[in-house]
Chains A and B, each alone.
Chain A
């Protein structure tokens, strides 16, 4: 444990003193604040005259103001934080020859990777918590609405999901930094995978879905075809952690959201029946709806770290 804490402390110091981190944090904080500010302004206008709006505070995070909401922003650019924090973890030490020096100290090899990963996760957590706190403070000033207990729980859950999501990318970039000796290669590989999973998977999913289950094929009931098409598309895009994260966080943040699916078939009777009581879901139900997504996200993160750990432990490091 002593080894881990030493590595952890040193790594934290490195993170917070590096310009790279400060610039990135400043960028993300700025963009978050701007999006939330825009959301706040939009909300204020649209809520004027509404008798009793519910969960206004959470709307700060999921209202698309000018361009995109806070939640969407983290989904797209959160991975960058993870990648930036992790892409040179091991191979920089190796290139500078410090890895062997560390390991000559009474520090075990697993302490190095564990400490580095934990330090990364801590940094990510601090970052997310501070961003959420800044936005909350801004919301208090802008809207004058105090969040209720359930809203705070939902925000906490949102932070936990986000930490796991970004940690997945941290683990992935650490894995690449173990695999590739060159810093540039590991950085490129991480970014390439990020671009692929975040942008191309959703694009490819719709292309594939149109091939497998065309929406407007002749001789097929169009509603059924459209539903099938969308199911295929959603199934494929689930292979992207971004899609998992977006669905989970959007549902957790929005209590009125009752499903993760983009399209739900509803008969007219069902619509009337469901529209009769417009109640928000309790937080437990929201969590149950996105439970599989959260599980998969956590499992992915842990598995990704486990692979890095395994590879690092088995690697020949003296050369």
Chain B
């Protein structure tokens, strides 16, 4: 019996020993880790990446939130923001959705995002966003807070709420009958694709259209993807009777969430239009070879801007002379009329018949052409000489008849 007992106890001992050995072998690594980094059994921590931020007025805030599990076991942590300052909306999210709980493995951390959006009218000040984290069983908690300081925004950025409108040439200058095309660039600064409505406030009777650059169609709304920009053109046709001056046009671009506006300025210099003609509309005159003939015509400023230095240019046959009195008109206010005398002297050798003399009335920015038909007539000065010759010959003949007749 004693022998059997011994064997059993010996075996038991070996088993124990073996079990012990096995246990030692199994638990050795953790025993070593424990010695290097003595982890508490459970520990959590929540903290924003940047605990206090400064943003311009109206901008939303987005800060990374680090949730750390420093304990020996994985934890499911509930995260909440117990109170949100007045005038703000805040939530915690990952890339794609809002979160209120996160599982963090032992000795690791997860990154979330705190997003805070001010409501309209949220003023300057310091806002505190408390953040609470606690384990599911409620034994561990961690608190932190995000401090957002809202600064007064710079004036330029105040206008553009989510839209940035830029134009290279905000002021265009030209005559009243011209077409002005402003090229503007619209940037969608929100992070959502949106359709923007286009509107304008301009002077009465003016024609303002929105169109793509270099294309001849008009649109009234524009779709822009998030954080992208699109260039477009604003075409402005002034009212034809508009006085010269400066005209601002306010272009407003807005979507549900964003709006922006830009002021474009058109500077009208007035129209340049010259008219010329004769009082009775007759553009023909008679002239004798080498003898001057005069015709008077009027020059009228039909534009809305003054014309300066109006000159007269002629297309005429060589060796003809065309003179104007006055030689030029220094200044002609809008709507005014000026009378010009034109003296045309055909060349001595000019053939009998019709000639064309073109007169170009040239102002600084406008010109008017007229064509005169000059009928050159044969001079009758020698007619008398011819008649005298014939009369003398006939008198001589009659004298002969009387003297010599009746023989």
Known: A269-B316, A295-B389. 7 other contacts (CB 8 A): A259-B352, A279-B354, A285-B353, A291-B386, A298-B390, A303-B393, A306-B393
- Distance between Cα atoms of A310 and B316 in the complex (Å): 55
Contact B316 A273 (CB under 8 A): yes
Contact B400 A310 (CB under 8 A): yes
Contact A273 B315 (CB under 8 A): yes
**Closest Cβ neighbor of A267 among chain B residues:** B318
- Asked whether any CB of chain B lies closer than 8 Å to the CB of A258, the reply is yes
How far in angstroms is the closest Cβ of chain B from A276?
Answer: 3
Secondary structure class of chain B's binding surface, majority of residues:
mixed
- Asked whether any CB of chain B lies closer than 8 Å to the CB of A302, the reply is yes
- Asked whether any CB of chain B lies closer than 8 Å to the CB of A133, the reply is no
Contact A276 B355 (CB under 8 A): yes
Secondary structure class of chain A's binding surface, majority of residues:
helix
Q: Provide a sorted-by-A list of 24 A–B residue pairs whose CB atoms are within 8 angstroms.
A: A108-B407, A109-B407, A110-B405, A265-B349, A266-B317, A269-B315, A269-B317, A270-B355, A274-B317, A274-B353, A274-B355, A277-B356, A288-B378, A289-B352, A291-B378, A295-B386, A298-B390, A299-B389, A302-B390, A309-B397, A309-B400, A310-B400, A313-B405, A313-B407
Contact residue among A265, A285, A310 (Cβ-Cβ distance under 8 Å from B377): A285
Contact B377 A288 (CB under 8 A): yes
**Residues in B neighbouring A277, C-beta threshold 8 A:** 353-356, 373
Contact B355 A273 (CB under 8 A): yes
**Residues in B neighbouring A158, C-beta threshold 8 A:** none
Q: Known A110-B405, A306-B396; judge A273-B357 contact (CB<8 A).
A: yes
How far in angstroms is the closest Cβ of chain B from A104?
Answer: 14
**Residues in A neighbouring B382, C-beta threshold 8 A:** 291-292
Q: Known A110-B405, A276-B355, A291-B383; judge A306-B318 contact (CB<8 A).
A: no
**Residues in B neighbouring A211, C-beta threshold 8 A:** none
Q: Known A276-B355, A277-B356; judge A288-B404 contact (CB<8 A).
A: no
B residues neighboring A (CB under 8 Å): 315-320, 349-357, 371, 373, 377-380, 382-383, 386, 389-390, 393-394, 396-397, 400-401, 404-407
**Residues in B neighbouring A269, C-beta threshold 8 A:** 315-318
Contact A302 B407 (CB under 8 A): no
Contact A295 B356 (CB under 8 A): no
- Distance between Cα atoms of A289 and B386 in the complex (Å): 13
- Distance between Cα atoms of A270 and B320 in the complex (Å): 9
- Distance between Cα atoms of A314 and B400 in the complex (Å): 11
**Residues in B neighbouring A274, C-beta threshold 8 A:** 317, 351, 353-356
Contact A285 B352 (CB under 8 A): yes
Contact residue among B378, B379, B389, B404 (Cβ-Cβ distance under 8 Å from A110): B404
- Distance between Cα atoms of A311 and B382 in the complex (Å): 32
Q: How would residues 269 to 289 of chain A score, 1 for a CB under 8 Å from any chain B CB and 0 otherwise?
A: 110111011010100010011
- Distance between Cα atoms of A264 and B347 in the complex (Å): 13
Contact B352 A110 (CB under 8 A): no
Closest 8 CB pairs of A and B: A270-B317, A276-B356, A288-B378, A267-B318, A277-B354, A295-B386, A313-B404, A258-B351
* A residues 119-166 in Cβ contact with B at 8 Å: none
- Distance between Cα atoms of A109 and B400 in the complex (Å): 13
- Distance between Cα atoms of A110 and B407 in the complex (Å): 7
Contact residue among A258, A291, A302 (Cβ-Cβ distance under 8 Å from B394): A302
**Residues in A neighbouring B354, C-beta threshold 8 A:** 274, 276-277, 279
- Distance between Cα atoms of A108 and B407 in the complex (Å): 6
How far in angstroms is the closest Cβ of chain B from A77?
Answer: 27
Contact B390 A299 (CB under 8 A): yes
- Asked whether any CB of chain B lies closer than 8 Å to the CB of A245, the reply is no
- Asked whether any CB of chain B lies closer than 8 Å to the CB of A57, the reply is no
**Closest Cβ neighbor of A303 among chain B residues:** B393
How far in angstroms is the closest Cβ of chain B from A283?
Answer: 12
**Residues in B neighbouring A291, C-beta threshold 8 A:** 378, 382-383, 386
**Residues in B neighbouring A295, C-beta threshold 8 A:** 386, 389-390
